[in-house]
Chain A
Amino acid sequence: MKVVVCVKQIPDPADPGALDPETNTLKRDTKLILDESDSYGVEMALQLVDAAGDGEVHLVSMAANNEVGGLRTALAMGASSATIVSDDALGGSDALGTSKVLAAAIARQEPDLVLAGTESSDGYTGVVPEQVAELMGLPSVTFAKSISIEGGEAKIQRQTEAGYDDVECPLPVVVSVTAGVVEPRYPSFKGIMAAKSKPVDELDLDALGIDAAQVGWAGAGQEIVAVDEAPAREAGEVIEDDGDAHERIVAFLDDLKIL
């Protein structure tokens, strides 16, 4: 079984992001790491390939300058190989532009299953997996909280507003997984060393046969017209609990007349 996992490499969330004042897009000049949201997809893929008895996990990512910092982490977890798509024309790509690139790169792998996180931790549009599926002409199931493969069919528990749905779908299918679906493994030392020599295919738009006018700024079909500081919520009083903080809370609730 061949599983392709979409992997986004993002600036370290511990190092707060900023918008480039010239272009109003996320600054991406810092070192990139594996988006934690995607580590669940990588782990799920590794477990499904294990359960299937044979197969491999291939990663697909889009980033500037053939950045592979985050991909190496996922390779160290156990993925076999990766594709990185980079092209100067990709700057400013929106979700749809990104999906066109990912779909073309994924299709080359002829996967049985495509996994992705439900949304990235930085852009959080949450529409890319479903767009990729539509572009590839595949079915999709989003918000999966568990996946098993039986007899060429995926059995998925999909989170809903009210609870969950049991969903069945023949392969190939695109599935987005929620955080917490599995516990991502830490790369072992052996895994980290092995990752350095795993194959990473570098592609550009020409190689994928994508017209530059469909992606990047040119293809985004939208324009950021304003960036403003949001009105900050003012912090109130902060007290230390020395045994009677609960009385202050009760008094606060009393003042609001909600008790």
Chain B
Amino acid sequence: MGLDKIWVFGEGDGDDVATITLEMLAKARELADTVEVFMAGDGDDYAEELGEHGADAVYATGDLDGAMQGVAVASAVAAAIESGDADAPNAFLLGTSQDGRDVAARLSVKLDTPVITNVVDLELDGDHLIGSEPVFGGTVDVKTKNTSGKSGIFLVRPKSFVAEGVGGAEADVEDLDVPEAGTTGAARVVERFAEESDGPKLDEANIVVSGGRGLGQQEAFAMIEELAKNLGGAAGASRAIVDAGWVPYSSQVGQTGKVVKPDVYIAAGISGATQHLVGMKGSKNIIAINKDPEAPIFAVADLGVVGDVHKVLPKLIEALSNR
């Protein structure tokens, strides 16, 4: 016994469906009889992969011509429900991404229904969905039930569920018409820039090496990159050094930024602020190197080294490159 229908917000990652979307589909299948995807862009590009992961249908807007997804997708969904072109689902699941948040926020106003944010687990309570959210850096779990009597909106954090194909047939593609938004839709993307990086993607790598303020200066981040490369992993960073402009935002691990769950996470010169812990404490094994024996990172580390990253890292890099 489950819900009748859940709608999952679909996002693309180049030609593929974004991992967060597939993760939500896996959970949605457990919770509802029918699972459908709503998304911006061309649904035909993703229908096969979405179907393979259990989506019954894809409602897609087509090319948005630079319009922001928040306004376009939310108004299209609201209009489809209002006109009866689509039946309202029991719940909407969206990933905690830039566009996922925008769409959830706009949709919540249009439907006058709450958004339950930072969800890492979902369970059924009769006809209600309950979301679990970590607070205070993940030391406390809060469970929140949507009692509004309307479709709940849940913003789901990446890596909360495991994506799994079920061999479903290609999903049916339906048009999601975007109403004329007027001034509300006046923001336009005029150009997109991608930051290139070598090696495995940060949120998919089996090994992640991250650096923080303890590196002292931007140049020292080269050690992090070298160690990551030696280990066949990806380099990450704490918010402090992203804010300082040493490394791009795409390298940030934490509450804002990427959530990572590698087999091994090495934190070098990172104190372990709540903001950072939320993004990496799900790692299987954590190694921390920090000068301050009181640093909170040691409370989650399987192996903690109280020491200077400028002394430990060069020796570690040398030892590994000799193997």
Instruction: Find chain A residues with CB under 8 A from B155 CB.
Output: 125-127
Chain A residue total in the interface (Cβ 8 A): 80
Q: Pick from B13, B102, B316: contact of A130, CB below 8 A.
A: B102
B residues 87-138 in Cβ contact with A at 8 Å: 96-98, 101-102, 104-106, 108-110, 112-118, 125, 130, 134-136, 138
A19 to B139 CA separation, bound complex (whole angstroms) = 12
A238 contacts B301, CB within 8 Å? Answer: yes
User: Quick one: which of B136, B186, B308 has the most chain A CB within 10 A?
Assistant: B186
Q: Pick from B134, B144, B244, B256: contact of A223, CB below 8 A.
A: B144
A127 contacts B98, CB within 8 Å? Answer: no
B143 contacts A134, CB within 8 Å? Answer: no
A166 contacts B109, CB within 8 Å? Answer: no
A227 contacts B140, CB within 8 Å? Answer: yes
Q: Pick from A169, A179, A221, A229: contact of B187, CB below 8 A.
A: A169
Instruction: Find chain B residues with CB under 8 A from A141 CB.
Output: 68, 187
Q: Pick from A130, A163, A258: contact of B250, CB below 8 A.
A: A163
Q: Mask for B289-319, Cβ within 8 A of A = 1, else 0?
A: 1000100001111111111100110011001
Q: Is B164 an interface residue (CB 8 A)?
A: no
Chain B residue total in the interface (Cβ 8 A): 96
A247 to B305 CA separation, bound complex (whole angstroms) = 11
Q: Is B264 an interface residue (CB 8 A)?
A: yes
Q: Is A52 an interface residue (CB 8 A)?
A: no
Once A222-B147, A250-B319 are accepted as A-B contacts, the answer to whether A241 and B311 lie under 8 Å apart by CB is yes
B residues 202-259 in Cβ contact with A at 8 Å: 206-207, 231, 239, 242-245, 248-250, 255-256
Once A225-B130, A249-B305 are accepted as A-B contacts, the answer to whether A126 and B117 lie under 8 Å apart by CB is yes
A128 to B239 CA separation, bound complex (whole angstroms) = 21
User: Quick one: which of B115, B130, B320 has the most chain A CB within 10 A?
Assistant: B115
A193 to B26 CA separation, bound complex (whole angstroms) = 57
Q: Pick from B98, B136, B255: contact of A159, CB below 8 A.
A: B98
A163 to B162 CA separation, bound complex (whole angstroms) = 25
Q: Mask for A225-252, Cβ within 8 A of B = 1, else 0?
A: 1111110110111111101011111101
A95 contacts B114, CB within 8 Å? Answer: yes
Instruction: Find chain A residues with CB under 8 A from B194 CB.
Output: 162-163
CB A15 to nearest CB in B, in angstroms, measures 12
Residue of A nearest to B103 (CB): A130
Q: Is A180 an interface residue (CB 8 A)?
A: yes
A178 contacts B301, CB within 8 Å? Answer: no
Instruction: Find chain A residues with CB under 8 A from B300 CB.
Output: 233, 235
A188 to B161 CA separation, bound complex (whole angstroms) = 49
Q: Pick from B108, B125, B191: contact of A131, CB below 8 A.
A: B108
A165 contacts B192, CB within 8 Å? Answer: yes
Q: Mask for B140-175, Cβ within 8 A of A = 1, else 0?
A: 111111111110000100000000000000000000
Q: Pick from B109, B191, B305: contact of A134, CB below 8 A.
A: B109
Instruction: Find chain B residues with CB under 8 A from A208 CB.
Output: none
A95 to B96 CA separation, bound complex (whole angstroms) = 15
B147 contacts A221, CB within 8 Å? Answer: yes
CB A116 to nearest CB in B, in angstroms, measures 12
> Could you list some 14 contacts between A and B, CB below 8 A?
A95-B117, A121-B275, A130-B102, A133-B184, A138-B183, A139-B185, A140-B102, A142-B101, A143-B98, A162-B192, A240-B305, A245-B305, A246-B316, A253-B264
